[in-house]
């Protein structure tokens, strides 16, 4: 199962994946935190069978049911910080390049606080850490900053 992220300018981001049984599921995450989960026809990925709106609290509760230990948003005196896993896919221009080359914090304000590999974790990676296709970047920042970082990692 692979997850595809699509930027929705002015809205947020859409995450699509297909289960092993061929069911297409989509989650739309709005900049304001609202989420919608959609279920699509197997033979027509554009035909939505059902769309369920979720508040941030409901999305968190659902995540806890699916994975009892997801990474949650951290709320700090009215400022929302989020922690998100960002996959470094085969289309990313950063595979094989140094972490510093992303200029993540300078460009987005979001920080890459760890890099997860298949059999290892690299907390607090240094700027000279070499990224690899298949890595998962753990990012912390505002919703807007983390969304921007996801786009940069995916597209350059």
Three-state SS across the chain?
CCEEEEEECCCEEEEEEECCCCCEEEEEEECCCCEEEEEECCCCCCCEEEEEEECHHHHHHHHHHHCCCCCCCEEECCEEEEEEEEECCCCCCCCCCEHHHHCHHHHHCCEEEEEEECCEEEECCCCCCECCCCCEEEEEECHHHHHHHHHHHHHC
Q: What is the mean pLDDT of the chain?
A: 83
Alpha-carbon distance 150 to 6, whole Å? 10
- The pLDDT of residue 130 is above 70: yes
Residue 74 has pLDDT above 70, yes or no: no
User: Are the C-beta atoms of residues 34 and 51 closer than 8 Å to each other?
Assistant: no
Distance of alpha carbon 37 from alpha carbon 30, whole angstroms: 12
Name the residue among 9, 65, 17, 7 with its Cα closest to residue 37. Answer: 17
Contact yes or no for 29/35 (Cβ under 8 A): yes
Cα–Cα distance between 51 and 49 in angstroms, integer? 7
Tokens, residue 17: 């994946």
Give per-residue pLDDT as tens, 16-65.
888 878 788 888 887 777 788 988 877 776 788 888 888 777 776 777 67
Contact (Cβ atoms closer than 8 angstroms) between residue 116 and residue 135: yes
Using the predicted structure, report yes or no on whether residue 71 has a pLDDT greater than 70: no
* Percent above pLDDT 70 for the chain: 87
Residue 101, pLDDT > 70, answer yes
Q: What is this structure's pTM?
A: 0.56
122 or 15, which is more confident: 122
């Amino acid at each position: 199962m692979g997850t595809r992220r699509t930027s929705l300018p002015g809205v947020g981001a859409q995450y699509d994946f297909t289960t092993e049984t061929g069911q297409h599921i989509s989650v739309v995450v709005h900049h304001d935190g609202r989420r919608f989960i959609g279920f699509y026809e197997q033979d027509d990925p554009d035909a939505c069978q059902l769309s369920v709106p979720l508040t941030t609290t409901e999305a968190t509760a659902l995540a806890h049911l699916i994975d009892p230990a997801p990474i949650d948003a951290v709320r700090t005196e009215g400022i929302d910080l989020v922690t998100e896993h960002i996959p470094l896919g085969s289309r990313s221009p950063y595979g094989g390049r140094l972490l510093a080359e992303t200029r993540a914090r300078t460009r987005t304000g979001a920080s890459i606080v760890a890099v997860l590999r298949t059999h290892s974790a690299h907390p607090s990676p240094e700027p000279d850490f070499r990224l690899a296709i298949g890595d998962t970047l753990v990012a912390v920042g505002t919703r807007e900053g983390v969304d921007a970082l996801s786009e940069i990692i995916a597209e350059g």
